[in-house]
């Protein structure tokens, strides 16, 4: 085919090309205007044209190139107009707007995340562990004596219960997240500064004030020269970050197998400003957590030298903190998935 015929054929293709979509326009651009378009090939053939005809054919090819560029702009504008008009047809401005349903975080998740953020600011890291535990991590490593009531069926959900009195093979749902702390101590070297949030299980009757499962955040700090004063200051910092700068705490002597000395911690009632109300039973104080210095036997069970290291531990129920923060009177509401209850927390954090 002669060069002149090729020019005429390409011109006819350009003239006949129709585009309905943006993709069609892109096909045209690549074929006739792009870096490897068909018109460029004509310039290569121009070299074989006799010298006296080069000017004529050069003008024909340049004209074809301009024609392709003009057709491209036309197609691009035409497709854009079609797209805009079709979009306008699809929108009915007379229709009422559809309500956008926004989800909400669960109140326990809100409180858990806030507790984690508070302790992260002072260097605590999050540790997690299994909810199904063996006797060693759930009881023995935490200095629970064999006759301790918590080991019996009335407090613990056992999966595999020993009939011959050998507790080492017993498997149960964890009764606290202290089991996670044991695993951290076994696999880490001090200094250790960690918190363990998670769900725990107790064989208790379900009521407005108790449930067979609930959520805890337990903390552990082990290093050289850790004192009870460090524990008290850490918990005071937490109380004021969680309940406000005016919050105060008091510590009452208590007993836990894995800490010695041990204490229960109360926070000044935020509902009545410690003046006394029915929530705090007119004492001005509300119990929020238990704590104490880590018992040397617990350190030994994790192969940590109690003569070199000391530490403190604490544990709190997330439901309890949420109850004080949101004034929820019935713990059962947290697990009933009542949408009317959960909707109230859409604007919380």
Residue-wise DSSP of 126-183 = E----SEEEHHHHTGGGT--TT-GGGSTTT--EEE--SSS-GGG-EEE-SSTHHHHHH
pLDDT recorded at residue 143: 92
pLDDT recorded at residue 23: 83
> Longest C-alpha distance within the chain, in Å?
114
- Quickly name the fold that domain 107-345 has: BirA Bifunctional Protein; domain 2 (3.30.930)
pLDDT recorded at residue 347: 65
Q: Is the dihedral of CA 305, 306, 312, 318 positive or negative?
A: positive
162, 170 contact by CB (below 8 A): yes
Q: Domain segments of the chain: what residues?
A: 3-90, 107-345
Phi-psi region at 292: left, alpha or beta (left = phi > 0; alpha = psi -120 to 50)? left
Stretches where the chain sits below pLDDT 50 are 85, 87
pLDDT recorded at residue 59: 79
49, 3 contact by CB (below 8 A): yes
> Which of 134, 122, 124, 200 has the alpha carbon at shortest distance from 161?
134
pLDDT recorded at residue 44: 73
257, 142 contact by CB (below 8 A): yes
pLDDT recorded at residue 153: 62
């Amino acid at each position: 085919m002669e060069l002149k015929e090729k020019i005429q054929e390409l011109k006819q293709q350009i003239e006949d090309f129709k585009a309905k979509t943006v993709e069609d326009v892109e096909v045209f651009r690549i074929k006739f205007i792009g870096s490897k378009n068909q018109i460029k090939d004509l310039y290569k053939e121009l070299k074989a044209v006799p010298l006296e005809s080069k000017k004529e054919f050069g003008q024909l090819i340049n004209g074809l190139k301009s024609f392709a560029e003009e057709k491209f702009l036309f197609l691009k504008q035409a497709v854009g107009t079609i797209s805009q008009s079709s979009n306008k047809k699809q929108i009915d401005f007379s229709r009422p707007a559809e309500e956008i349903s926004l989800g909400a975080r669960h109140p326990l998740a809100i409180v858990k995340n806030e507790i984690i953020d508070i302790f992260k600011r002072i260097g605590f890291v999050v540790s997690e562990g299994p909810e199904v535990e063996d006797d060693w991590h759930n009881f023995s490593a935490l200095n629970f004596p064999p006759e301790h009531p918590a080991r019996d069926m009335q407090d613990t959900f056992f999966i595999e219960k020993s009939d011959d009195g050998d507790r080492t093979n017993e498997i149960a749902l964890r009764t606290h997240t202290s089991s996670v702390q044991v695993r951290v101590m076994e696999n880490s070297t001090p200094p250790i500064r960690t918190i363990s949030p998670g769900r725990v299980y107790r064989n208790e009757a379900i009521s407005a004030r108790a449930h067979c499962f609930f959520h805890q955040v337990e903390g552990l700090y082990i290093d050289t020269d850790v004192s009870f004063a460090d524990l008290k200051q850490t918990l005071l910092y937490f109380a004021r970050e969680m309940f406000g700068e005016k919050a105060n705490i008091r510590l009452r002597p208590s007993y836990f197998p894995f800490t010695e000395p041990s204490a229960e911690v109360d926070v000044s009632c935020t509902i009545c400003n410690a003046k006394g109300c029915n929530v705090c039973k007119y004492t001005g104080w509300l119990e929020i957590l238990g704590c104490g210095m880590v018992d040397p036997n617990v350190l030994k069970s994790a192969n940590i030298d109690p003569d070199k290291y000391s530490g403190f531990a604490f544990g709190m129920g997330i439901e309890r903190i949420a109850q004080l923060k949101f004034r929820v009177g019935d713990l059962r509401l947290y697990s009933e998935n009542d949408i009317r209850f959960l909707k109230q927390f859409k604007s919380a954090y």
